[in-house]
Amino acid sequence: MNHDPISAPDLPVVQTHALSRHFGNMVALDKLNLTIEKGDLFGFIGSNGAGKTTTLRILATFLAPSSGHATILGHNVIKEPDAVRHLIGYMPDFFGVYKDMEVTEYLDFFAACYRIDSKQRESTVSDVLELVGLTEKKGALIGALSRGMQQRIGLARVLIHDPQLLLLDEPASGLDPRARIEMMAILQELQQMGKTIIISSHILSELQNLCNRVAIIEQGKLIYSGDVEGVAKQLSRDRVILASIQGDWEKAIGYLKARSEIADVQWDKDRLRITMADQQSNVGVIAQTLVANQIDLLSLTEDQLGLEEVFMRVTKGDTQ
């Protein structure tokens, strides 16, 4: 099923240039420059009021920018809204469902809105229900479904016309842990199918494992945009290695501290926390030193900043 307007495959899926939005004297979005490529699962991170929803609403053609511009696969969101709407699927943080309708009736209605042929709609509805794992609920009333299932029905609705870009505003909001895990697994499957996904969320630990790229926004201004590992490395003040050993840990600390490549060693939660002298220091000296002194090395891993710690470091907690 393909209802998308023609678009050049080598264009970025999303491109914004100096995108701004004012509400009276309040600046909700301040000269935002973003580039999102095909196949990205892009995490959009910020506190409440940072500008995430404003950005998604502009990309979804529901809100006009005050200045700047945005394109979806080369189509201007203001000048070509109909073309853009066929390319995107937008799921707001709070959306209404027709609780007295059966699941298939609800999805068939939206398929008709996208002018999908009546002969094709039944198979299309079955396909999206299988994709979100709710085939067995096709005859159920939407009002009888759990919050998590209703969220998945909402996702099925935005997939009904096979969009290339998904704009998901807090899709796991209000879900229990199991429902959140199920939702994230569906998003990973959609990425593997070639969909480009922008997901805003405050559950940063999930975005760290889910997304390949992220943007951090505060008070409408972009603070960082790039790959998840890149932001952690950029903000890491020290290179820290975690080593699990078997042997006398006090002696191990002494041996390691004697090396010029190592700045400090601490015993932390049943393992050695080793701070290298600089980012370029050879980590191999850890294993060499321990083995040479008859101390068994069980594991050696590099400690990475978590996305939550990154967020706390680069933002000030200011809101509009």
Residue at which a domain ends, from 174, 201, 233? 233
56-60, 149-153, 200-204: range with highest mean pLDDT: 56-60
Alpha helices, DSSP H, located in the chain: 52-59, 81-87, 103-113, 118-131, 147-159, 177-192, 204-210, 228-235, 249-257, 284-292, 307-314
| Cα end-to-end span (Å), the chain | 42
Establish if 174 belongs to a structural domain. Answer: yes
Q: Domain containing 75 — which CATH number?
A: 3.40.50.300
309 part of a folded domain: no
For the cut 90, the answer to whether the pLDDT of residue 84 exceeds it is yes
Which segment of 36-40, 169-173, 236-240 scores lowest on mean pLDDT? 236-240
- Report how far residue 174's alpha carbon sits from residue 186's, in angstroms, rounded to the nearest whole number: 17
Average pLDDT on 180-189 reads: 90
pLDDT of residue 2: 46
Task: Tell me the C-alpha distance between 160 and 63, whole Å.
Answer: 23
Rounded CA-CA distance 101/92 in Å is 20
SS3 170: coil
Domain membership of residue 313 (yes or no) is: no
pLDDT confidence of residue 253: 94
Sorting pLDDT into bands at 50, 70 and 90, what band is 232? low
Question: Is residue 194, in this structure, part of any structural domain at all?
Answer: yes
Q: 84-98, 218-232, 261-275: lowest mean pLDDT where?
A: 218-232
Residue 70 clears pLDDT 90, i.e. is over it? yes
Where residue 11 falls among pLDDT bands split at 50, 70, 90? confident
The domain boundary, picked from 204, 233, 262, lies at: 233
Residue 85 has which token pair?
Answer: 């709407």
Sign of CA dihedral 58, 64, 65, 67: positive
Q: Are residues 243 and 136 in the same domain?
A: no
**Partners of 15 in the beta sheet?**
35, 71
Task: State the pairing for strand pair 41-45/213-218.
Answer: parallel
In a domain, 308, yes or no: no
Whether 3 shows a pLDDT value over 50: the answer reads: no
Q: Residues 146, 293: one domain?
A: no
Return the structure tokens found at 319: 């809101």
Q: What is the mean pLDDT of residues 196-224?
A: 85
Assign 274 a pLDDT band (cuts: 50, 70, 90). Answer: very high
Q: Which pLDDT tens digit goes with each residue over 256-265? A: 999 999 999 9
CB neighbour burial string for 48-79, b if at least 16 within 10 angstroms, e if fewer: ebbbbbbbbbbbbbebebeebebbbbbbebee
Q: Which of 202-211, 249-258, 309-318 has the lowest mean pLDDT?
A: 309-318
The band of 268, judged by pLDDT with boundaries at 50, 70 and 90, is confident
Q: Which range (26-35, 101-110, 210-219) has the least confidence? A: 210-219
Per-residue burial over 25-44, b = 16 or more CB atoms within 10 Å of its CB, e = otherwise: eebbbbebebebebebbbbb
Same domain for 247 and 159: no
Q: Are residues 257 and 205 in the same domain?
A: no
In this prediction, residue 174 has a pLDDT band, given cuts at 50, 70 and 90, of confident
pLDDT at 171: 87
Q: Is 4 among the domain residues? A: no
- Give the pLDDT confidence score for residue 233 in this predicted structure: 63
- Mean pLDDT score across all residues of the chain: 87
User: How confident is residue 1, by pLDDT bands cut at 50, 70 and 90?
Assistant: very low
Quick check: 43 pLDDT over 80?
A: yes
Does this model's pTM top 0.95? no
What pairs with residue 166 in β-bridges? 89, 197
What pLDDT shows up at residue 216?
86
Q: What is the CATH number of the domain that holds 298?
A: 3.30.70.100
Residues 85 and 101 in one domain: yes
The radius of gyration of the chain's CA atoms, rounded to the nearest angstrom, is: 24
pLDDT number for residue 136: 94
Which of 102-106, 133-137, 217-221, 313-317 is the least confident region? 313-317
pLDDT recorded at residue 48: 79
Query: Is residue 318 one of the residues assigned to a domain?
Result: no
Per-residue confidence band for 80, with pLDDT thresholds at 50, 70 and 90: very high
| Residue 9 is assigned to a structural domain of this protein | no
Domain co-membership, 197 together with 111: yes
Residue ranges making up the domain that contains 63: 14-233
One domain, residues 228 and 270: no
